[in-house]
Chain A
Amino acid sequence: MTESSLKPIRRLQLPFQIHVEQRLEDVPRWFPVLISFGAIVVALILGGIIIVIAGGDPFATYIHIARASFGSLGVFSDTLVKATPLIFVGLACALAFKMRLWNIGAEGQFFMGAWGASLVVLLPILPSETPQWLFILVMLVVGMVCGAIWGFIPGFLKAKLQVNEIITTLMMNYIAVSWVNYFIFAVWTEGGFQMSRMFPKNAWLPRLSDLAESMPIFRGLTTHSGLLLALVAAGVVWFILFRSQWGYEIRLLGDNRDAARYAGISVARNTIFVMMLSGALAGLAGMSEISGVVHRLQGAISPGYGFTGIIVAWLAKLNPAAVIVVSILFGALILAGREIQPSGIPKMIQGCILVCLIASDFLLRYRVYITRRIQE
């Protein structure tokens, strides 16, 4: 090219300059929490704007959500009921995501877990006069196994044939819902209704209200012992991820598959096992919901728990302890959301939160600051 093509480049001159610099040192521990909190606030503001566009009142909506979920001991107990399955699916997603396996199938695994638990009562595997501890134990195991099978299939396909697990787990969701629908419509229907018969009392997870005779304060509280199980599960997942050899393998695989292979860790085997445990955890959510809340198998047992679990896991930065806290917040949103119009609001707010959250991750990796432009 000739010199005449060397033109000075004109640029839009803003009165300030945005500098972006990669962080070269670790951020303090409180910083990510602050950023996530900020992201939620921004998300709620954006959600409020959308509510205004749709003709609603954002302040009334948010106040309603807060009151309907934390306003009294009774509603807080209901919030915890909604949080329980979220903890399980949140853990399921956190575990799989830690290995960078995109298990989007927690919803389907939830349904299969619920179906498996119902199988124990309705097939029946155990007679209805079985003692409660045995009933619940077997329901737990069968629920977990069914969820694990639903995780195994995509896991196996991913490990052996490199089939994209995002799509397979998603497709498995639809299949699971149809599968459960078939049973509640055709096999276990009670008097033509789209639900099974009520489970016997000894197949129910104990509730707080069961203790009301000795402790009256628990009267009418719906929180069930599934919450306890969920807390135990969180502890177990934490221990696996951060203290066990298997967890080390999972974390190494999640950060760098090639490095893990180089360290002699089997990608295929871990893919299958992690997907199975992830499925089992989501299956547990289904079991606890069936045995602790609805006490029968029916169609509308999940307001999208499996998908909310993805957001829960991400907001918790894949940390099992944080999953518990985040699940309670989202439990509140789901609980209060049932009465809000238009009905899509909770889903929309969840979407907003996830969008803002991943956008905010940028601030963890980069320093951004604004200075006045210096005239060159």
Chain B
Amino acid sequence: MELVNEQTQKKVVVSMRGIVKKFPGVLANDAVDFELIEGEVHALLGENGAGKSTLMNILAGLYRPEAGTISIRGKAVSFNSPKDAIQAGIGMVHQHFMLVPSQSVTENILLGLDEPRFRLRLREYEQKVVELGERFGLHVDPRAKVWQLSVGEQQRVEILKMLYRGAQVLIMDEPTAVLAPTEIEDLFKTLHSMAAEDQSIIFISHKLQEVLEISDRVTVLRRGKVTASGIPLINTTRAELARLMVDREVLFRLEKKAVEAGDKVLEVQDIRAENDRGLPALREMSLNVRAGEIVGLAGVAGNGQRELAEVITGLRKITGGKILVHGEDLTNKPVKTGIRRGISHIPEDRTHVGTAGNLSITDNTIMKNYNQPPIGQRWVVNAVLANKYAEDLQKAYDIVVPSIKTPVRLLSGGNLQRVILAREISSQPSLLVAVQPTRGLDVGAIEGVQRLLLAQREAGAAILLISEELEELLSLSDRIYVIYEGKIMGEVLDGDIEKIGMMMTGTPMKDIEARGSK
């Protein structure tokens, strides 16, 4: 028996009722209902940590709910694995792409299928992939290895993978986070052409603007509960959606005090560096950061941001150019020298770079000063002072743990980030390199991190903020550089989104200005 949506008179494809999912300490989904109809783009809107991805991971067969029912076209289903979901026509494109980098596009698309039976007749299947791509405007070289592709191309492969499996429901988890503005437009075109062929798309996002632009209906989640279920977007305003998404009276505003920028703390001059594969990652780029200002670095992921942070902090060698800190040449100096000169670094990867999971909070907080007095004395680490230091930081930065002896792998993402911030900020750095400092945190934690950054700015630190969240960059930064393929495209002082967008896709500032003056 197929269900029909009353308002639209269209067939209901997916119906989720009373979904409950608990994680240790969190009720991620609290009796959530969700309904998807044929041929629509349905946005799932909510702040970070609202439970959007959890709900969709349940639909995609990755998690099993504690309670609730799922039915596909009126038939009750129970998914034990992603494979069951795929067989039911549900495909999910995760935020972290599920592609094997060393295999070709075609191999990735064929992965896990029963066809071809034994011999991989790749030539034959490459043709099919091309045909499918043409149908939906998803162009990608079927023979290319995935590691050679740009992030946008990889996303296309993910979508193709699901279409090839005959997916009729496509779940896209924050698909625009990794794309440049023009790539976003292409993606939206593809999604519309799919919806036109009666496929249904679930679009997970926390960005209001996008949701208004792309979707037909929206379901809003707030702290695991539905606050709006499948409302049509035609007569909904941005303000209404914002109120549904955030329960506070107003969106929080950061108080950004006026600070006079001081001397140049960091000067990067014409540097070149290679990435892990030995390909050029930074090509003759220059920038500077003054004391008391936050300088944002905007750009699509993978254009050299990570390498730049590593180069400044001494983790990566440069093959040309110069790095000056307070006028002192720190080019290719060891990490330790940088730390002694007051460079702090909030790394992108909290668990694999920023902390050592099995070591205690104490051991993690003294990472940068274990060899400096008073904690480091001659050859030894003063355990009493180290513990006291950790306790002080724990109090000052509200790190919620049973004891400072707890291994940090048991900490939540927000607490872990507070450990890193406590360590990096308590040393009163003169230069702070922050890479994606709020990624993956819930709303409260994001606010805390941003406040801390602003406090450092007022304290006179020079801050280089590398982020893929344009909104974050705009609200925090005094100036914004845009990076593209390892080069600085230009500098924006007034937060002109349009210009930033053009530079993110490779149009240098001078070309934009030349065009503007014509």
Contact = CB atoms under 8 A, between A and B. Distances in A.
Asked if A and B form a direct contact in the complex, defined as CB atoms under 8 angstroms apart, the reply is yes
Given A252-B363, A259-B367, A245 B381 contact: yes
B376 A6 contact: no
Interface string B72-97: 11010110100010111100000000
A19 to B, nearest CB: 13
A26 to B, nearest CB: 6
Contacts of A24: 24-25, 410
Contacts of A255: 356-359
A256 interface: yes
Nearest to A263: B367
Interface in B341-364: 345, 347, 349, 352-359, 363
A258 B352 contact: yes
B334 interface: yes
Contacts of A245: 370-371, 376, 379-381
A258 B367 CA distance: 12
Nearest to A7: B87
A220 to B, nearest CB: 43
Determine which residue in A24, A245, A260 has the highest number of CB atoms from chain B within 10 A of its CB, and name it: A245
B484 to A, nearest CB: 27
Contacts of A247: 381
Interface string A1-15: 101011011000000
* Among A26, A244, A263: residue with most chain B CB under 10 A: A263
Contacts of A262: 313, 315, 335, 345, 347, 353-354, 367
A266 to B, nearest CB: 8
A243 B380 contact: yes
Contact of A259 (B89, B314, B334, B354): B354
B335 A263 contact: yes
B381 A248 contact: yes
A252 B367 contact: yes
B381 A8 contact: no
A5 B24 CA distance: 35
- Size class of the contact patch on chain A: 20 to 34
Contacts of B363: 248, 251-252
Nearest to B89: A1
Contacts of A252: 356, 359, 363, 367
B339 A264 contact: yes
A243 B381 CA distance: 6
Given A24-B410, A244-B381, A3 B359 contact: no
B380 A244 contact: yes
Given A3-B73, A255-B356, A8 B410 contact: no
Interface in B233-256: none
Interface string B360-397: 00010011101100001001110100000000000000
Given A3-B75, A259-B354, A262-B354, A26 B345 contact: no
A31 interface: no
Contacts of A251: 359, 363
Q: With a 10 A CB-CB cut-off, give which of B75, B165, B315, B359 has the most chain A CB atoms.
A: B359
B391 to A, nearest CB: 17
B407 interface: yes
Contacts of A1: 86-89, 165-166
B336 interface: yes
B417 to A, nearest CB: 14
B402 interface: yes
Nearest to B382: A243
Which of A9, A244, A258, A264 is packed against the most chain B CB atoms within 10 Å? A264
Nearest to A243: B380
B488 to A, nearest CB: 25
Contacts of A6: 72, 75, 77, 87-88
B379 A246 contact: yes
Contacts of A260: 356
A26 B406 contact: yes
Contacts of A259: 352-356, 367
B197 to A, nearest CB: 16
Given A1-B89, A25-B410, A256 B84 contact: no
A67 interface: no
Contacts of A8: 78
A31 to B, nearest CB: 15
A160 interface: no
A5 B86 CA distance: 11
Interface in B149-167: 165-166
A261 interface: yes
A375 to B, nearest CB: 15
A34 to B, nearest CB: 20
A24 B349 CA distance: 21
Interface in A24-51: 24-26
A325 B29 CA distance: 50
Given A26-B405, A248-B366, A258-B352, 13 more contacts: A6-B72, A6-B88, A9-B78, A245-B380, A256-B353, A256-B356, A258-B349, A259-B352, A259-B356, A260-B356, A264-B334, A264-B338, A264-B339
21 contacts: A1-B86, A1-B166, A6-B72, A26-B406, A26-B410, A243-B380, A243-B381, A244-B380, A244-B381, A248-B366, A252-B367, A256-B352, A258-B349, A258-B353, A259-B353, A259-B354, A262-B315, A262-B335, A262-B345, A264-B339, A266-B334
The 8 closest A-B pairs by CB, nearest first: A264-B336, A264-B335, A255-B356, A256-B356, A263-B367, A259-B356, A258-B353, A255-B358
